[in-house]
Structure 1
């Protein structure tokens, strides 16, 4: 047993304890909160706000809500790679390339090798407003700070062609010198138009319209998901268990390091 072993092992064990007894419990608590939260339809919320408006209280109203509806946006929106109609998208382009590296081997000889590397060369996301709609009522979703769960979309690879120019999201791409471009991977994640949504967040009225956004109270959930409530809960419970077991494993590893590292 050494001071280094005690230090490293202690850090690992402390990190494991935090994951197993703090972080996992926080996730379990959040799952329980969602499980017992009552779902309210958008028409019901609209009627409640109309009543508050009549009393002059509508603009100051804030409340945590759980609601369901379908995804909408203004105008026509399509994903950039596959041109799929959608209410929201995130897209990226990743370059796959090779780069020569000079290194010294174990015998002291200078050698070169070819490394395959990847870099994100461009990304974009839709700027059009996202709405959740139900029964003729819709609420705008302010996505900043949301735990956003999207559907996987286009995922394709195209080999690089030297005889053509490349432009991604309106910006011309120039191949960096000193590397050999192999190809590009195009990826999309999206909320399809009309996709059923499960949303948990803080509802308010702003600019004459309903909005759902990040709660003003710390540690309250803000979820926008293409999954059902049941699927979201199952995922959260599974994540809590995984975090707990990983924490236990770190505690055991930390104890072993503290005892056996010399």
Structure 2
């Protein structure tokens, strides 16, 4: 009983830290001003005039439509859709065989074979056709469009599978491959985006990305209002989870010690 209580306490503490992170993100969205591209250009010009060319930094929110980089659109690996960002995952489902006390047991398990996100930059464009660069920095957009979610049975038992011309390893030891699950998400050109981050001019043109020091970086297909509502709901649920986990966990630990 006390073990279950200890697990609940740990879960409650983890929920507390997630709650604090969610609260900070919410406060960052509330406290950060949304600036237009001309306003950012004006502030950068003022910074240049003070002799700080290339050192402009501004934490802000920008809103606009996703726009391809100068080299053109990306092509998603699985769906072959045109996009400015994509991510795909491949999971292998297999039968795991183990022997215990002379009995043969077979269980279905999953392992991740691939998880790749594009890291090329793109831009957002406003209604007047003005653009600002976006550096994803390895971060994933919130709520991208899912274009693939399919399972393909594997023919041939323990044989290998080929993905984008690369042969994935075969598996032995009685672990029969059942099949592969493919998922892919994209951000299409024209998708409305909300971005909170740090604007800089390190490479010349204005780019928004991860803060150079502390701070938050959010890219989302949802509006700021939708994100705030989502974070508020998440914060309430995590707060309840924190209290429930710690209180019930302590109760179980005490009951286990006393009994």
Instruction: Indicate the TM-score class for this superposition, using the shorter chain for normalisation.
Output: 0.7 to 0.9
- 1:35-87 CA-to-partner distances (Å, cap 9, x unmatched) read 24321112321232234334432311111111101112231312111122211
The corresponding residue for 2:114 is: 122
C-alpha contact 2:119 2:137 (8 A) present in aligned 1: no
Structure 1 residue 251: Cα displacement = 2.0
The corresponding residue for 1:216 is: 212
Q: What is the alpha-carbon distance in structure 2 between the residues aligned to residue 96 and residue 14 of structure 1? A: 30
Q: What is the alpha-carbon distance in structure 2 between the residues aligned to residue 216 and residue 40 of structure 1? A: 19
C-alpha contact 1:17 1:248 (8 A) present in aligned 2: no
The corresponding residue for 1:148 is: 141
Change (3 A) 1:169 1:92: farther
**Structure 1 stretch displaced more, 142-151 or 63-72:** 142-151
Number of residues paired by the alignment?
A: 251
Structure 1 residue 166: Cα displacement = 3.2
C-alpha contact 1:166 1:173 (8 A) present in aligned 2: yes
Structure 1 residue 138: Cα displacement = 2.3
Where 2:225 maps in the other structure, the secondary structure is helix
Q: What is the alpha-carbon distance in structure 2 between the residues aligned to residue 121 and residue 157 of structure 1? A: 14
C-alpha contact 2:119 2:136 (8 A) present in aligned 1: no
With normalisation by structure 1, the TM-score equals 0.84
**Which residue, 142, 147, 168 being the options, matches 1:173?**
168
The corresponding residue for 2:67 is: 72
**Which residue, 217, 226, 234 being the options, matches 2:229?**
234
Change (3 A) 1:138 1:209: same
**Which residue, 156, 159, 168 being the options, matches 1:162?**
156
Segments of structure 1 that go 5 or more residues without pairing to the other structure are 105-109
Change (3 A) 1:231 1:170: farther
Q: What is the alpha-carbon distance in structure 1 between the residues aligned to residue 32 and residue 124 of structure 2? A: 19
Structure in which a larger fraction of residues adopt strand: 1
The corresponding residue for 1:204 is: 200
- 1:130-170 CA-to-partner distances (Å, cap 9, x unmatched) read 22222333222222374631232211111112399732244
C-alpha contact 1:201 1:221 (8 A) present in aligned 2: yes
Where 1:101 maps in the other structure, the secondary structure is strand
Query: In the alignment, does 2:243 pair up with 1:248?
Result: yes
The corresponding residue for 1:189 is: 185
Change (3 A) 1:12 1:123: closer
**Structure 1 stretch displaced more, 138-147 or 125-134:** 138-147
**Which residue, 111, 121, 139 being the options, matches 2:103?**
111
- 1:211-235 CA-to-partner distances (Å, cap 9, x unmatched) read 11222342x2211111111111111
Where 2:208 maps in the other structure, the secondary structure is strand
Q: What is the alpha-carbon distance in structure 1 between the residues aligned to residue 20 and residue 183 of structure 2? A: 34
Change (3 A) 1:187 1:209: same
